[in-house]
A and B are shown apart, each in its own frame.
Chain A
Amino acid sequence: MIIRQIPVIFFLALLLTISGCSGNKTKEGDDGAMSSDGIEDGAPIDMVADDEYSSSGLGEDGSMILDPLDDPASDLFVRTIYFDYDSTNIREDSLLIVREHGKYLSSSPERLIRLEGHADERGTREYNLALGEERAKSVREVLLLEGAQEEQIEIVSFGEERPTVEGTDDAALQLNRRVEVVY
């Protein structure tokens, strides 16, 4: 159990409020690119999250456990995994992050996620659609190895259709070659 347990009871009410708010602002047609700020799922998943919170959130001394998803210091706060050109391999530096997500999912079987695969604009659109899915599958593979269940993970590819940034320079292209982990 590597989830960081930070018993900060003072912040809990506040955080619950924040996550509740962000859970409601699901936007139609949004490219989902800015999901690192938290939860974009619809209400049902938030309900699950809240249940988990109240059932397992009490520490032995009655203190509350902060959901590491909301902790900026946690590896789980990183929700975007970047890839090399035409590659579906997870880089060394991202592997730790993905593993943390896998461990978290394994310990929180009620949690459901969506892996959104993306590609940069180079190459054909249809090939990039497939590439985005293959990238998401690479991430899923690691999650499963860490004990996550297939049922917890949904995969969708947007290919090059929903870039994080518009632009043709290397920096822009890198930002667009990604898999987003959406809780």
Chain B
Amino acid sequence: MIKRIHNLIVLTIVLFSSNAYALLEIEITQGVESAMPVAITPVAGDVPIQVTLLESVVFSDLHRSGYFSIIDKTNYPQQNVKLDQVDYPKWRNVGIEALLTMKATAAGEGKVRVQFELYDLVRKNRVLGHSVTTNKNQLRKVAHKISDLVFEKLTGIKGAFSTRIAYISEVAIKKGKKYQLKIADADGYNPRTVFSSSNQLLSPAWSPDGRRLAYVSFENDRTEVFVQDITTGKRSKVSSKPGINSAPAWSPDGTSIALTLSFDGNPDVYILEVESRKLRKLTDHYGIDTEPTWSPDGRFVYFTSNRSGAPQIYRVSFGGGSPKRMTFEGNYNAAPSVSADGNLLAMVHKNEGGYRIGLLDIERNAFTLLTDGTLDEAPSFAPNGSMIIYSTRHNNSTVLSAVSSDGRVRQRLRLQKEKVREPSWSPFRR
């Protein structure tokens, strides 16, 4: 066991030392005893750089999920494993349960052929085998796809490594600051700007088809909610009432947006039908009701309310009615995010050390703390529920981090000089 952890640390150091991985930092927060030991053997063929990239992307994908520990190569009983040459007893002797082999070969101008195979070393059979030819600049995508397939095969859970994140970045410019709504791969790579403003942006939220983002913009010196098509860039203002217009959250069927409005006197949660612009008040209390988010089946809306005197998370039926309080641990629970199975609630939880990401198992009514920062915010579940992305303070800046839903592994996504925050994990691509 100790050896396995040691191996991980070695691998982590290797990861840090190469420029190719400069954007990523992985920290192992707790032992990884229950993580499945997996081996990755890359075969360079005639394009060594490409296979190194493949390996690093798949490694960090699988590793940060918390489900696997990737065993150091020096412990591999076989190198350059080929199909039908897997010596199963040897691999089992070193305690490795799955083996991923990858091979990359040149396939004409700017193209690479990637072959990969996954072996179940316990059941002694090949469980995956694919080959794909791709452009060199699409290798990260292919790697994430491989991670998805491996993850699903070994855990039974659909992989979410090919998804994206939306977030807000803030950079100081000559005159003031620039705020940008960006989207990137789930590991922080390939960022691109969706909208840019000299005023603050807030609370990006994906439509369930992954094509549009709703967000809050201060471009007119007050809060307004916009919806923007991320492919065409076309944007429209969907809410600009007196007072607060904020905290948009799409319904799972994509027809409505839950949001916070205060035109009626104080912040309450409303349901806005996107096409008809029809508005319905969902919660009604003289305190603060905000940060709505939907249960995956669309039957409930979770939200933050200070009706008890301090912010706690409540749940109300889509049709309305009296809300049920969900959180009782501590005196500050806010910004709920619901897992895909509807049973886990991630939130910002305050304790004596600061604001952290907490997790409530609704069925078991069990609360756990996942992070230990001083100002961790904006938790957002991966669409498969395996990880949560959030923002955290780091070296006087704000960065994004991902934590596995069991809290075992945290990985920081480093995005250079900008301050980044308000991450929102995309749905699966349709």
Interface residue ranges, A against B (CB under 8 Å): 28-30, 86, 121-127, 129-131, 133-134, 137, 155-159, 161-162, 168
A-B contact pairs, 23 of them (CB 8 A): A30-B176, A121-B375, A122-B375, A123-B334, A124-B291, A124-B334, A124-B377, A125-B377, A125-B421, A126-B202, A126-B203, A126-B260, A127-B290, A127-B306, A127-B334, A129-B223, A129-B247, A133-B244, A133-B262, A133-B266, A133-B267, A155-B243, A168-B375
Interface string of B184-225 (1 = CB under 8 A from A): 000000000000001110110000000000000010011100
Ranked nearest first, the 4 interchain pairs of A and B with the lowest CB-CB distance are: A130-B288, A130-B267, A161-B200, A124-B335
Chain A residues within 8 Å of B67, by CB? none
Chain A residues within 8 Å of B200, by CB? 158, 161-162
Q: How far is the CA of A12 from the CA of B198 in the complex (A)?
A: 38
Chain B residues within 8 Å of A123, by CB? 311, 332, 334, 348, 350, 355
Count of B interface residues, CB-CB < 8 Å: 36
B169 within 8 A of A: no
Closest to A134 in B: B288
Chain B residues within 8 Å of A156, by CB? 221-222
Quote the shortest CB–CB distance from B178 to chain A (angstroms). 10
Chain A residues within 8 Å of B244, by CB? 129-130, 133, 157
A122, A125, A134, A158 pick with most chain B CB within 10 angstroms: A125
Chain B residues within 8 Å of A159, by CB? 202
Let me know if A129 and B198 touch, CB within 8 A: no
B378 within 8 A of A: yes
- Besides A125-B421, A126-B247, 16 more A-B contacts (Cβ < 8 Å) are A29-B199, A121-B375, A122-B375, A123-B311, A123-B348, A124-B334, A126-B246, A127-B334, A129-B223, A129-B247, A133-B243, A134-B266, A134-B288, A157-B243, A159-B202, A162-B200
B310 within 8 A of A: yes
Chain A residues within 8 Å of B304, by CB? 124, 126-127
Chain A residues within 8 Å of B176, by CB? 29-30
Q: How far is the CA of A86 from the CA of B350 in the complex (A)?
A: 12
Scan residues 304-338 of chain B and give those whose CB is less than 8 A from a CB of chain A: 304, 306, 310-311, 332, 334-335
Let me know if A130 and B378 touch, CB within 8 A: no
Quote the shortest CB–CB distance from A176 to chain B (angstroms). 14
Q: How far is the CA of A156 from the CA of B260 in the complex (A)?
A: 14
Q: How far is the CA of A131 from the CA of B422 in the complex (A)?
A: 18
Q: How far is the CA of A129 from the CA of B200 in the complex (A)?
A: 12
Let me know if A29 and B291 touch, CB within 8 A: no
Let me know if B266 and A137 touch, CB within 8 A: yes
Q: How far is the CA of A129 from the CA of B311 in the complex (A)?
A: 13
Quote the shortest CB–CB distance from B345 to chain A (angstroms). 14
Let me know if B198 and A29 touch, CB within 8 A: yes
Let me know if A161 and B288 touch, CB within 8 A: no
Cross-chain contact of A161 among B218, B291, B350, B377 (Cβ < 8 A) = B218
Q: How far is the CA of A159 from the CA of B306 in the complex (A)?
A: 16
Q: How far is the CA of A161 from the CA of B419 in the complex (A)?
A: 13
Q: How far is the CA of A159 from the CA of B200 in the complex (A)?
A: 11
Chain A residues within 8 Å of B421, by CB? 125
Chain A residues within 8 Å of B262, by CB? 130, 133
Quote the shortest CB–CB distance from B173 to chain A (angstroms). 11
Given contacts A131-B288, A134-B288, A156-B221, contact A125 B422 (CB under 8 A): yes
Q: How far is the CA of A157 from the CA of B262 in the complex (A)?
A: 11
Chain A residues within 8 Å of B375, by CB? 121-122, 168
Quote the shortest CB–CB distance from B293 to chain A (angstroms). 11
Let me know if B218 and A158 touch, CB within 8 A: yes
Closest to B398 in A: A121
Q: How far is the CA of A131 from the CA of B348 in the complex (A)?
A: 16
Chain B residues within 8 Å of A134, by CB? 266-267, 288
Chain A residues within 8 Å of B348, by CB? 123-124
Quote the shortest CB–CB distance from B167 to chain A (angstroms). 13
A29, A121, A129, A134 pick with most chain B CB within 10 angstroms: A129
Chain B residues within 8 Å of A30, by CB? 176
Q: How far is the CA of A14 from the CA of B267 in the complex (A)?
A: 44
Q: How far is the CA of A54 from the CA of B267 in the complex (A)?
A: 41
Q: How far is the CA of A158 from the CA of B222 in the complex (A)?
A: 7
Let me know if B378 and A124 touch, CB within 8 A: yes
Let me know if A157 and B223 touch, CB within 8 A: yes
Quote the shortest CB–CB distance from B169 to chain A (angstroms). 14
Q: How far is the CA of A123 from the CA of B306 in the complex (A)?
A: 13
Quote the shortest CB–CB distance from A113 to chain B (angstroms). 15
Q: How far is the CA of A126 from the CA of B202 in the complex (A)?
A: 8
Closest to A28 in B: B198
